[in-house]
Amino acid sequence: MINYNFDSTTFFFNLFALSILLLPLYALLRPAWARRALFSLAGAYLLFLIAPRLMVFYVAMWVVVAGMQRIIFFTAERRFGLQFFWAILLCVLTPMVSWKIFGQPFEIQFTILTNRVIELISLPLWEIDMAREVVIPIGLSFATFRALDLLIKTFIGRLGLLSFDRVLFYGLFPPVLMVGPIIEYEEVQKQSDSKANLSAEGMLYGLFRVAFGLIKVLVLAFALAGSAAVFSNYGESELYTVWLGLFVYTWFFYLNFSGYSDIAIGFSRIFGFQLKENFNNPYFSKNIAEFWNSWHMSLSRFAQRNVFVPMGGFRSKTQFLAIYLTMMTIALWHDITLAMFAFGTYHAFGLIVHRTLSERKINILPQGTAANALRVLVTYLFVTLSFPLLVMPLDRALEFYPSLVGIGSAW
């Protein structure tokens, strides 16, 4: 977690420095293809600054995705089109799934393989790469889902054939490379095809969002980061300290993650790109469905479009299965572990209960401000109780839970 945050912050500081050079160039360049190329180069350079192997990997990945987009576009309506489509989806998913299942062995193989490729390209580049510490394929989960979204939309006919430079621009779009959001191609399409849409208002708003995000990450989340100790100290802590630590940790997690989203949205806005929001006051949701519609919304939207709908979410017979598979996708996107299986199942259960009550128009609580406040509290508590599964292995989480009722913690 510490390295992850460090890299993300460094990445955004590099992006800020690069933007000073990038902004006037972006404004001056007339052809849309040149501005797309400039953004792609900027994204590749930012990856290079972390480690050349990341740059080589992601450029290669998006070139391959562009080729796949072509294949899907031309074969979608033909014989074996569906088989091609599934084979391609499997190929795109393989690196991310392997990483999540095998962990460190995958990272070592990833480093060795990408090092070798760089050695073949350029010896000086290889020397730079060797000097960098082992860098995990940062951003792979975000990139994989963005690629999947692009390919699925092509298959169903929502996207036409895209030129290689458009796919590279989408894939290497700098603000979202490290920590999302999982943007859709349409979010950057219009702006990337028209003239630069720079305005003082947009830049000011963008700068404000970046500053707001930095305050969230570097001041507020940093101040609450110590709350993570609750997951190791609960055995020696008093009951109220364990609960307090857990509550504070939920805020640390939210401020940290949503802060990075603010920075990404802000940087995009400076350059005239209006990305969709990624968080919308999730801890003030009145039910669990509302929570998932306001927490990491780009991931929820992805799962809703690409899992919930195709799995039968819009048919009453299959809706509960679709809910379960959607939540498992969201959970396993974070990590493929037993704890995340439990996390997905827990939230799916909450959503299915909520869906059943909503369908039958059953309101357990009456309408009104006090009842709404209680709804918010219950939803927040429900979400809070799932956090140990998000941050601990299952066996340790199962040891942690009894401490919330005073078993195993100091009274």
Partner 1 sequence: MSDRLINVFSTVLGVDSADLSDETSPENCDGWDSLAAMNLVAALEESFGVHLTTREIMKMASIGLARATLQSKGVDI
Residues that bind partner 1 (CB under 8 A): 152, 156-158, 276, 289, 293, 304-306, 308-310, 312-316, 319, 355, 358-359
* Contact partners, residue 197, CB within 8 Å, separation at least 6: 191, 272
- Smallest distance, partner 1 to C-beta of residue 12, A: 26
> Closest CB to partner 1 among 140 and 275?
275
Cis, bond preceding 95 (omega within 30 deg of 0): no
CB 193 within 8 A of CB 267: no
Q: What is the DSSP string of 164-205?
A: HHHHHHHHT-GGGTTT-----HHHHHHHHHSS----HHHHHH
Residue 39 or 85 having the CB closest to partner 1: 85
Between 24 and 310, CB nearer to partner 1: 310
How far is the C-alpha of 238 from the C-alpha of 82, rounded, in Å?
57
Q: Which of these, 114, 273, 147, 125, lies nearest to 198 by C-alpha position? A: 273
Name which of 138 and 328 has its Cβ closer to partner 1. Answer: 328
Least distance to partner 1 from the beta carbon of 159, Å? 11
Instruction: State how far the Cα of 324 lies from the Cα of 319, in Å rounded to an integer.
Output: 9
Characterise 186 by phi-psi region: left (phi > 0), alpha (psi -120 to 50), beta (else): alpha
Minimum CB distance to partner 1, residue 71 (Å): 18
Q: How far is the CB of 301 from partner 1 (least distance, A)?
A: 8
Closer residue to partner 1, CB minimum distance, 122 or 358: 358
State the minimum distance, in angstroms, from the CB of residue 184 to partner 1.
Answer: 10
CA–CA gap between residue 174 and residue 182 (Å, rounded) = 12
What number of CA atoms fall less than 13 Å from residue 289's CA on the CB side?
A: 11
> Whole-number minimum distance, CB 152 to partner 1, in Å?
8
Residue 158 C-beta: closest distance to partner 1, Å: 6
HSE-CB at 313 with a 13 A cutoff on CA atoms is: 18
Q: Which is nearer to partner 1, 355 or 375 (CB)?
A: 355
Cβ of residue 212: shortest distance to partner 1, in angstroms?
Answer: 22
Q: 76-108 burial, b for 16+ CB within 10 Å, e for fewer?
A: eeeeeeeebbeebbeebeebbeebbeeeeebee
**C-beta of 316 vs 369, nearer to partner 1:** 316
Report in angstroms how near the CB of residue 22 gets to partner 1 at its nearest. 29
Among candidate residues 96, 49, 35, the one with its CA nearest the CA of residue 335? 96
Length of the chain counted residue by residue: 411
Q: Which C-beta is closer to partner 1: that of 124 or that of 310? A: 310
Q: What is the CA radius of gyration of the chain?
A: 22
Residue 77 or 133 having the CB closest to partner 1: 77
Amino acid at 108: I
Please choose, from the candidates 64, 62, 68, 44, the residue with its C-alpha nearest in 3D space to the C-alpha of residue 54: 44
- Minimum distance from CB of 248 to partner 1 (Å)? 31
Tell me if residue 238 falls in helix, strand or coil. strand
Using the minimum distance from each CB to partner 1, give the nearer residue, 197 or 358: 358
Which residue, 127 or 359, has its beta carbon nearer to partner 1? 359
Six-digit token pair at 103? 């962990």
Minimum distance between the CB of residue 157 and partner 1, rounded to whole angstroms? Answer: 6
Q: What is the C-alpha separation between 172 and 170, in angstroms, rounded?
A: 6
Give the whole-angstrom CA distance, residue 71 versus residue 88: 9
